Chains A and B, each alone.
Chain A
Amino acid sequence: MKILVPFKSVPDPNDATVVGAAASTPKSVINPFDEIAIEEALRIRERGEAAEIVGITIGAPTVDEQIRAALAMGIDRAIRIDDSRALDPYAVARILRVLIEKEAPHVVIMGKQAVDDDSNQVGQMLAGLLRWPQATFVSKIEFLGNKTRARCTRETDAGLEVIEIKLPAIITTDLRLNEPRYVSLPGLMKARRKSIEVLTCDQLGVTVRPLTTVLSTARPPKRAAGTRVESVEELVTKLRQDAKVL
């Protein structure tokens, strides 16, 4: 089975100084949900159910660092679509769709959302464009019927939902699916010999222009300190006069 894992390079969510896309030069990491997807692909291969894992990312040469990290974790090869534009989820889905038709994987496993924009759209859009089944926010994956189907547990508002989908399909990962491994030194050494293929949208024969634009990004307003009141009367007065909610 061939598994395709699209992943995104995002500003490190643990770095509190980052505001706005590509603000200064923040530290970048593999999107945590995509890391979970990579980890799952590796585990599927380790239990003998997959033969090849291909990573895909879209970005400028600076994202090669995240590609090396993914290769060091254990994916076999990677493709970078060279494009530094700010793309929206639909544009990303349209680009990935062309690559998926080219690579013909049995399953695509990817993070449910990127932590920089939290859109949670690409996987679903991709499935729609390909007319493939989808399983989103997945916390467990099992392959059945000699890998013609997948049984997936999904994390929904109502609780856990189990669905069965035919392959090929798009699966998006949720937090509880697994805990990704750390990159090992042997992994890093092996990664140097693995290939990164660079393609452009032109070479793929796909032209996209984003249909949404980010106008601005800002921190939410700081929460003001609370004040203590001495009596219910004072509280009511403040609610009327200051907060104006009564």
Chain B
Amino acid sequence: MAESLVLIEHHRQQVKRPSLHAITLARQLGGEYALLVLGHRLDGIVASLVSYGACAVVVADDPALAKPLADRYATVIAEAARKHDAKIILGTSSTFSKDVLPRAAALLDAPMVTDVVAIEEMDGS
């Protein structure tokens, strides 16, 4: 079970740099974090993600996920968050994350904060 779930953004078999910032944040928040990657033919990406200290790399690899369609991605993200009992889902301030994460938030009955530059304190609740 991971406290944070980081949605990894990738393009052409490469993890996008802003996702690395999200991973760093997950690390700073303390607790365990899992990386979530969606798409198709992800072996290369997954291999590059194992060295980031996550307790799990959750992979959703399917032809139906080849393009980032929000309804499909949000459903998978919500399911992964529930399965891993994640307290926080982290993404980046990209059009990809902004398209998909609010929809996932609604599916999870959870609030969302966009464009965060600092997290000052966090208690258990």
Q: B-contacting residues of A (Cβ < 8 Å)? A: 88-90, 93, 118-129, 131, 133-134, 136-137, 154-158, 163, 210-212
Contact = CB atoms under 8 A, between A and B. Distances in A.
Given A128-B103, A136-B98, A121 B11 contact: no
A134 B95 CA distance: 14
A212 B110 CA distance: 10
Nearest to B101: A124
19 contacts: A90-B112, A119-B114, A120-B114, A121-B105, A121-B114, A124-B70, A127-B70, A127-B106, A128-B103, A128-B105, A131-B71, A134-B99, A134-B103, A137-B99, A156-B96, A157-B96, A158-B95, A210-B111, A211-B111
B24 interface: no
User: Per DSSP, are chain A's interface residues mostly helix, strand or loop, or mixed?
Assistant: mixed
A121 B101 CA distance: 8
Contacts of A156: 95-96, 99
B102 A124 contact: yes
Contacts of A163: 69
B114 A129 contact: no
B111 A90 contact: yes
Contacts of A90: 105-106, 110-112
Given A118-B114, A158-B11, A212-B111, A128 B96 contact: no
